[in-house]
Amino acid sequence: MSGPDIGILGGGAFGTALAIALAQGGRRVALWVRDPAQAAAMAALRENAGRLPGAILPEGVQPGADLAEAARAPVVLLSVPTQMLRGVLQAHAEALAGRRLVVCCKGVELGSGLLPTQVVDDVIPGARTAVLTGPSFAADIARGKPTALTLACGDAGDEALQAALASHNLRLYLSHDMLGAQLGGALKNVIAIAAGIVLGAGLGESARAALMTRGFAEITRLAQARGAEAETLWGLSGFGDLVLTCTSEKSRNFRYGLAIGAGELPDATATVEGVMTAHAIAADADPNQLPVTCMVSALLLGKVGLAEARDLLLSRPLRHERG
C-alpha cells in the first residue's frame, strides 16, 4: 500500500486544520498525534473534540500515534510547539531524514535563540526545509474560509511544494526569505501580547494602534539586523500576521495579554508562543532598540508592574517616527 502524500506532526488545532484542508484538496494525510488516547478518539469520532470541535476530519485524514507512518510521506509539516520541536526531531531524526520538512510553528527556542528551521538544521544537518506562516486561525482554515499564507523556501521558491500544499481556499505565496518569514511570525506574537495588555488595562484602541505601529517598527528593525528583507515583513508573514493577531480574541497571544492587563490569570492550558519568544529575544536585546519586547518580557517575569511598564514606555525620549 502506498504511503501518505503529506505527513503532519502535531495534533493541535493548527495541525488538524491543515490536515483537513489538505485532505479536502484530495491529499492523503497522516496526522501524528503524540497522545495515543487522543489519536484513537480522533480516529473514532472523526473530530479533534478538544482542540477543534465541530470540524469533521475528511476520509483522507488518518490520525495516529505512530510517527513513522507520517514520516513515510515525502513532505512532512512540523506543527508541534516551537519549544517541543527539538525533542521531537531528536527522537525521530532517522525517520525524518530525507523528507521535505515544512516548519509551521512560530517562535524562538528559549536558551539557544534559534528559529525553528535553525533547530531543524541543528538536529538533522542537511535537511531541506521550508516555512509555512502567515495570518491564519485554525478554525478558519478547517471551515474552508479563504486564507492566504507565505511559503518560504530557501531555494528561491519551490512551485512543486506550493502546488502540493495549496488548495482553492488556502492560497500560498512564495518567498525565498525564510529568515524574515520566521522572525515576522515569531515577533508578532510578542506584540500581540502587548496589544492585549493595552486593551485589558483599559488604555484604549488608540493606544493599541500606536503599540502595533511601534511594535511593527521593532519587528522590522530586528529582522533586518539579522539579515532579513524588509519587503518580507511588509507581507503576509509580517504585517498581515501582526494585524490579525493583535485585533482578534481568537488569538491565544492576544487573549493572554488581555488577561494580564485586566489583572486576571491567563489560560494555563493554551500554547502561547509569544511568552517564550519575548524572553528569548529580550535575553540579549538592547531595550533602546526593542523597548516593547523587552518590557513584555520584564512584565511577564514580574520585574516591573503594569503601571511602571506603562510609565517607562511613555517616558521614553521623543524621536522621529521612522526607524
- Residue 157's pLDDT is 54
Structure confidence by residue, pLDDT tens digits, 193-210:
999 999 999 999 999 999
- Residue 128's pLDDT is 95
- Residue 12's pLDDT is 96
The Cα 94–Cα 65 span in angstroms is 17
Domain 187-314, classified CATH 1.10.1040.10, yes or no: yes
The Cα 236–Cα 148 span in angstroms is 8
Q: What's the grid cell of residue 100?
A: 521535505
The Cα 158–Cα 75 span in angstroms is 13
pLDDT per residue as tens, the chain (323 positions)? 589 999 999 999 999 999 999 999 999 999 999 999 999 999 999 999 999 999 999 999 999 999 999 999 999 999 999 999 999 999 999 999 999 999 999 999 999 999 999 999 999 999 999 999 999 999 999 999 999 999 999 875 589 999 999 999 999 999 999 999 999 999 999 999 999 999 999 999 999 999 999 999 999 999 999 999 999 999 999 999 999 999 999 999 999 999 999 999 998 888 899 999 999 999 999 999 999 999 999 999 999 999 998 888 877 777 777 65
- Residue 323's pLDDT is 58
Q: Is 147 helix (H, G, I), strand (E, B) or coil?
A: strand
- Residue 161's pLDDT is 96
The reply to whether domains 6-176 and 187-314 share a CATH topology is no
Q: Which residues contact 94 (CB under 8 A, 6 or more apart)?
A: none
DSSP 318: P
**Domain 6-176, CATH:** 3.40.50.720
Structure confidence by residue, pLDDT tens digits, 121-143:
999 999 999 999 999 999 999 99
- Residue 1's pLDDT is 54
The Cα 214–Cα 297 span in angstroms is 16
To the nearest 10 degrees (0 to 180), the angle between helices 273-282 and 178-200 is 110
Q: Which residues contact 188 (CB under 8 A, 6 or more apart)?
A: 215, 219, 238, 241, 242, 245, 246
Domain range list for the chain? 6-176, 187-314
Burial class of residue 242 (count of CB atoms within 10 Å of its CB; 0-12, 13-18, 19+)? buried
- Residue 135's pLDDT is 98
The catalytic site residues sit at: 188
